[in-house]
Amino acid sequence: MPPLSVIFGLHAHEPVGQSVSQVDRTVDGDILPFLEAVSAIPAFKCAAHLSGSLLRLIEGRRADVMDMLKRLIGRGQLELLGGGFYEPILTTLTVADQTGQIRRFGDYLQRQFGVRPAGGWLPEQVWEPHLCKPLQEAGVKFVLMDDPHFAAAGVPADEVHGLFVTEESGHRLGVFPIDSGLKNLIPDKSPKETINYLENLSEEHPGTVVAFMGDGAVAARLIPALAREKFLAPVTPTEWAAGHAPRRLLYVPSASSAEMSEWILPPGLEDEYAGFKSQVVRHTRASAQRLFLRGGFWRAFLTKYAESNWMQKRVFAAATKMGPVLEKLGADREARAIRDLLDRAACHDAYWHGAGAGRGNGPAGGFYAPPIRAAVWRNLLEAETRFSKKMGLFPACFSDDIDCDGEPEWMVYTESWVIGFKPRLGGGMIEWSYRPALHNFQNTVTRRPERDHAQLERHPRLVYDRYRKASGLVYALDSGVRFEQFARQDLPEQAPAVGETQAKAEEKAESFSLKFRREAGPFVFEKHVVISKHESKLSLQVSVCASPGSAPWRLGLGFELFYARLEDLVVEGSLLEGSARSRSVSVTDRGGGTTVVMKFDREVEVWLAPVWTISKSMDGVQETFQGISVLFLGDDAGAGVKQELTMNVEVKSIAGTQA
């Protein structure tokens, strides 16, 4: 009886922006055990996908790992898989970059290891049928997919093994299923149980191939047992594909990993789906579950998290604008560096969040991880700044629907700033990027319900924001408003601070001027923003006029400031948390290297509160600092009164301590 071939593989990834200590833990706890186990058995063949972001860090720090990879590849034991360079979700890229990132990663692997990859990896198993074309055009012969994808394509469970082929508009692509039985057994069961499972597969489907891709540490423990079994034949994917024709054609619908398809859903629907799923599991056959039980669509993360959508659309717009120019510049060193920065900004982790599936059963994804989001903005801003200097593109002010929600934003680019205003949010700033420090002060997150919050209802830091976080929001508040209401985001408003707002812009010799006007209830809100073209300064003049029928009220001006570490902040003119009266406030970030100075035309009341998000993990509650909220308050006013406030802002660069 012919043996059962096994594609046994390692997948390892760390996002752009990850700490060096975490990379070392991944290398020592995950990658090295796998490679050492394979090295000890020269006849054992395997596959591995190491993301470009991880390899770049390993390359500079761990020559021992690079040497071991080269040795195993040279002996024919290890086949590396390619894919997008910095582990992007391919569907979030421009069409050119879907192919370009795969080619650039292939170029890198060939330079480092002397072999160009034939296979491709799908981050988080996100698949859409149109990806056949860019994958094939980039030289990818096959990909590996979770076997539930095959169920969705109508393949019976007992036929999900071997090599298949799919196509889109004539662009063909080989597809190996990743066996979910192995995926579930290997981390939690003994090697003997896994061997028994494989032996049953061998008897039922002699001569076929099954695949596993997973964590190296658990896989390493199984390698000696696999190597001893005569009914098993470890192979590389290319070796198998070279000697076997595809079983048949299939069409895989849009899909992602099973966990991801649940995390995409809003908390209420996620709970409903989980309850429905448990009933289906109890009352239907496994084959029917695999075929009909599916969650949401990965791109829905971009509507679930507006901040994620803004990041992705900004990177996409920058790549669309710069890509053709960079392509024409070819081997130009600066052009290649800018291209690499854009690739790094597309690393997928910052764009999504999943509960209870990260390391130690903590959160997965990096949407709520400040260093991971900050890395997106740092790479994007550096790419834009270097491109603008190379092409001489400063300054600019224009209106465009960047985030594709049907309403244009106003964008301002100067030597110091990239600022995005959202008219629908009362003309609030949804981006406030300071180019000299490559820092977006608006890179905070709106606190919203998540599924694991049901277990944290009494936690003092469980707070939900009323509006999407934006700077420069103007409020008409009850005169009796208290600091505690601000800290809990329960401000008593006499009219909403957001809504459709008239906007117009004007260019002057040394500045851009934007004016916003909105009527809401008994109030008229006006805001005039002046942004310097050549200095890191801007001013806001805001006014709120109350009609004769209004109740006593107070003007408020809100700002959000993103910082990665609370302990790096020094605040002057206010408390780090609490209330004070002052004519100026400054916030210095000793780690990030910036000082923000905010001055007023008169003394105002200043309320400042740290912003925290929380999540549940096996270790307890994970609290993450996301920045600070600041509210500046005028004095009490009555009906028919107009209140005005002028604020001048300057940002300065200082010597920072963060890399």
Backbone angles phi, psi at 488, to 5 degrees: -95, 5
Backbone phi, psi, residue 505, to 5°: -130, 155
Residues 570, 507 share a domain: yes
Looking at 350, 367, 393, the residue that finishes a domain is 393
Whether the predicted pLDDT of 161 surpasses 80: yes
Query: Mean pLDDT across the chain, nearest whole number?
Result: 93
Same domain, 251 and 303: no
Q: CA 365, CA 349: separation in Å to the nearest integer?
A: 5
The rounded percent of the chain whose pLDDT value lies above 90 is 84
Asked if residue 619 has pLDDT above 80, the reply is no
pLDDT of the residue at 286: 64
Tell which residue, 425, 404, 403, 421, has the closest CA to residue 412.
421
Mean pLDDT within 172-196:
92
Cis peptide before 395 (omega within 30 of 0): yes
Mean pLDDT across 231-257? 96
Residues 462 and 548 in one domain: yes
| 426 domain-assigned | no
Q: How confident is the model at residue 300 (pLDDT cuts 50, 70, 90)?
A: very high
Q: Are 322 and 387 in contact (CB under 8 A)?
A: yes
12-38: average pLDDT: 95
Q: How far apart are CA 431 and CA 402, in angstroms?
A: 12
Residue 181 lies in a domain: yes
**What is the number of domains present in the chain?**
3
Question: In the prediction, which pLDDT does 596 show?
Answer: 98
Q: Are residues 173 and 303 in the same domain?
A: no
Domain boundary among 378, 393, 408: 393
91-100 average pLDDT score: 97
Q: Is residue 311, in this structure, part of any structural domain at all?
A: yes
* 280 lies in some domain: no
Q: Which residue has the higher pLDDT, 539 or 151?
A: 539
Residues of the domain holding 450? 444-653
Q: How many CB atoms lie within 10 A of CB 460?
A: 8
Q: What is the pLDDT of residue 618?
A: 67
Q: Which range among 38-42, 59-63, 305-309 shows the weakest confidence by mean pLDDT?
A: 59-63
Residues 6+ apart with CB under 8 A from 266: 304, 449
In a domain, 585, yes or no: yes
**Residue 657, pLDDT score:** 59
List, in order, residues 6 or more apart from 160 with CB less than 8 Å away. 147, 150, 151, 177, 179
CATH of the domain at 72: 3.20.110.20
What b-and-e string marks burial along 108-121, b requiring 16 or more CB atoms within 10 Å of the CB?
Answer: bbeeebebebbbbb
Q: How confident is the model at residue 288 (pLDDT cuts 50, 70, 90)?
A: low
Q: How far apart are the first and last CA of the chain?
A: 58
User: What percent of the chain shows pLDDT beyond 70?
Assistant: 96
Q: Say if residue 594's pLDDT is above 50.
A: yes
pLDDT band at 656 (very low <50, low <70, confident <90, very high): low
Residue 289 lies inside a defined structural domain of this protein: no
What are 530-544's pLDDT values in tens digits? Answer: 999 999 999 999 999
Residue with more model confidence, 286 or 278: 278
Can you tell me whether residue 330 is helix, strand or coil? Answer: coil
Domain membership of residue 265 (yes or no) is no
At residue 361 the predicted structure's pLDDT band, cuts being 50, 70 and 90, is very low
Residues 470 and 382 in one domain: no
Same domain, 240 and 338: no
Indicate if 320 and 195 belong to the same structural domain: no
Mean pLDDT is lowest, of 58-62, 125-129, 310-314, 479-483, for 58-62
CA distance 25 to 30: 8
Return d(Cα 232, Cα 325) in angstroms, integer: 51
Cα separation values, 152 from 55, 248, 251, 419, Å: 33, 15, 9, 44
Mean pLDDT calculated for residue range 85-102 = 98
Is pLDDT above 50 for 601? yes
Please check whether residues 32 and 118 belong to one and the same domain.
Answer: yes
Contact 175, 191 (CB under 8 A): no
**Rounded average pLDDT over 13-30:** 94
What's the count of helices (H) and strands (E) in the chain, helices before strands?
A: 19, 26
Average pLDDT estimate for 257-278: 86
Each residue of 377-395: pLDDT tens digit? Answer: 999 999 999 999 999 887 9
Residues 188 and 243 occupy one common structural domain: yes
Q: How confident is the model over 345-362, as a mean pLDDT?
A: 75
Confidence of residue 357 (pLDDT cuts 50, 70, 90): very low
Regarding whether 246 and 301 lie in a shared domain, the answer is no
Average pLDDT over residues 238-256: 96
pLDDT value of position 360: 43
Please list the residues that pair with 295 across neighbouring strands.
Answer: none
On whether residue 400 sits in a domain, the answer given is no
50 and 164: one domain? yes
Q: Are residues 510 and 378 in the same domain?
A: no
Per-residue pLDDT at 116: 97
pLDDT grade for 285, boundaries at 50, 70 and 90: low
Rounded to whole angstroms, the Cα distance separating 1 from 232 reads: 11
Q: What is the pLDDT of residues 429-464, one digit of tens each?
A: 999 999 999 999 999 999 999 988 988 989 999 999
Q: Which residue has the tokens 């944290």?
A: 456
Mean pLDDT calculated for residue range 95-104: 98
Of 223, 256, 289, the position where a domain reaches its end is 256
- How far apart CA 651 and CA 535 sit, in angstroms, is 9
What is the mean pLDDT of the segment spanning 326-344? 96
CATH value at residue 640: 2.70.98.10
> Per-residue confidence at 267, pLDDT binned at 50, 70, 90?
confident
Is the pLDDT reported for residue 355 higher than 90? no
The residue-averaged pLDDT of 549-571 equals: 95
